Amino acid sequence: MTKILFQSPGGGVLNGADMATKWQMKYLVDQGFEVGYIYSDKRALTEKFEAFLSDYKIQSFFLEYNWWMNQELEISDFQAVSEMIKIIEANDYDVAITATANIPQLALAAAFTQRPHIWLIHEYPEGEFAYTKAKYDFISQTSNRILTANQDLSEKIGHLINNQEKVSYFYPFSDANGQVIQKEELAPRLINVNAFTERKNNLELIEIFQKLQVDFPELELVFTGKSESDYGEKCQQYVLENGIKNVFFLNDFSNNWSNVRKNDIFVNPSTMETFSLTLVEALKFGIVTISATNQTANQMVKLGYLDARHHYQTRNIREAADKITDVLKNFQTYKDASIRLSKRVIEEQKLETITQNLKISIESVKENPSAFLHHLKTMTVSSGDGLSERLEVMQKQSKLLDERLEIIQEQSKTLDQRLKLIQKQSKTLDERMVTIQEQTSLLNERLAIIEQQEATINQVKNSIVGKVFLRGKL
């Protein structure tokens, strides 16, 4: 039995690549492979995902690692490579699979352990992921095979590395059959089930809807995805500032499709998507679909799932509004065609069909092209262990410092309390001193009066009248 080890972008179903990985692992287990799974985000292990791993007997490993992007890798990444080497050897994994262009750790571990390595690419090396373009010398040199998330991307990567034979493709799987939409045959609405990001371009859909309201004042626009973000707030603010009515933000990502009706129109304005799972899901549901001309739309056209009536040039608000207008005016014709198409999409996008190239690649790979790096394995592991030991010492020292700081803070708190008491006592003494000073002043005033009276008496005694008066008395 061939044993496969995956490294996920994050884990669980946190993003499209993670969701694709989940179904690839299921398929491989069903095909008789044993699968291991490395993830880095603890949020990924929901109760539902843990049940999935348990059902398919997939052993999971949590490690801390980072996407390499434009930054240098951190100590935790080198530790992760060291730990992956141990995982591979302790569990005797035969093939390693990295599930995104953004993480190099397992590729290194596979080379150090002389295991074949397959790299799955979900990202076009442009726009947000332009930084990955400079990494393809490494990606190519450490991979037996590279599989991309659509055919168009495989051609681009093959050209980039100047080796088309090394590159193939798969399609990410979407389990639309495991979801349910509302069956009520109500008036069509525009719907979007994506999250709110600049790349998803939700604001453009609001602008399209704003234009459509002139001719369709009762039309509704519903966003089901998570809108709690700066970009989501920007979109909601635009609606308020422009007085656009009938726009609803459900912010209910977990129940995305269950908020959608069978007569709704799915509009996908995304500027960049390798293979949109939500678009494929809409097609599988038989929902009328309109998409901006992005990578996914281009692929859907090649597959025969979309034609010129179903996509518009990104940023062209007028073209999008015109095409949606035609859908609204001829809805039943579009709906009937979508239902017929859904049967074909469901058949052609079966998990076993779209993941077959991955199985073929696993069965055909042999020696890792960078197997010469195995000479550095012992050094890498010992360095990783050394880093772990030093980090453990540093963490203990940090803990000790935290405890000392806590003691100092407690002492500081006690000193503050004593200082407050002293200040209070000082204030009381000051108040008493003021009272004493006031009493002293009063006594001084009275003493001054007495002295003045004595002076007056002495003057009288010494005066002529006084002497006469006194003699008379004598």
Which three-class secondary structure string do you get for 212-240?
Answer: HCCCCCCCCEEECCCCCCHHHHHHHHHHH
pTM of the model: 0.78
- List of E strands, 55-173: 59-62, 95-98, 117-121, 145-148, 167-169
Per the structure block, which two tokens stand in for 182?
């509302």
436-451 pLDDT, tens digit each = 998 888 888 888 888 8
Q: Which residue has the tokens 């681009």?
A: 156
29 falls in which pLDDT band (50, 70, 90)? very high
Residue whose C-alpha is closest to residue 323's, from 334, 338, 313, 309: 309
Residue 200 pLDDT exceeds 60 = yes
467 falls in which pLDDT band (50, 70, 90)? low
User: Residue range 210-216: average pLDDT?
Assistant: 96
Q: How far apart are CA 274 and CA 299, in angstroms?
A: 9
Average pLDDT of every residue of the chain:
90
Burial (Cβ within 10 Å: 0-12, 13-18, ≥19) of residue 364: exposed
Q: How far apart are CA 70 and CA 29, in angstroms?
A: 35
* Choice among 253-262, 290-299, 330-339 with the minimum mean pLDDT: 253-262
Q: Which residue has the tokens 């490690």?
A: 63
Total H helices, total E strands in the chain: 16, 13
Query: What was the pLDDT predicted at 118?
Result: 98
Name the DSSP class of 144. S
Query: What was the pLDDT predicted at 231?
Result: 94
Check residue 127 and give left, alpha or beta (phi > 0: left; psi -120 to 50: alpha).
Answer: left
Residue 117 pLDDT exceeds 90 = yes
Burial (Cβ within 10 Å: 0-12, 13-18, ≥19) of residue 177: exposed
Query: What was the pLDDT predicted at 95?
Result: 98
Q: 118 phi and psi, to 5 degrees?
A: -120, 135
Burial 412-443 (b: 16+ CB within 10 A, else e): eeeeeeeeeeeeeeeeeeeeeeeeeeeeeeee
Per the structure block, which two tokens stand in for 373?
């790096």
385-417 pLDDT, tens digit each = 776 777 777 778 888 888 888 899 989 898 989
Local structure of 425: helix, strand or coil: helix
Query: What was the pLDDT predicted at 473?
Result: 53
323-373 pLDDT, tens digit each = 999 999 999 999 999 999 999 999 999 999 999 999 999 999 999 999 888
Query: What was the pLDDT predicted at 154?
Result: 94
Local structure of 459: helix, strand or coil: helix
Per the structure block, which two tokens stand in for 361?
């690649």
Q: How far apart are CA 394 and CA 398, in angstroms?
A: 6
- List the domains of the chain with CATH numbers: 3-172+353-383 (3.40.50.2000), 176-348 (3.40.50.2000)
Q: Based on C-alpha coordinates, what's the Rg of the chain?
A: 39
User: Residue range 12-23: average pLDDT?
Assistant: 88
Contact 291, 310 (CB under 8 A): yes
Q: Which residue has the tokens 């108040």?
A: 431
Q: 298 phi and psi, to 5 degrees?
A: -60, -40
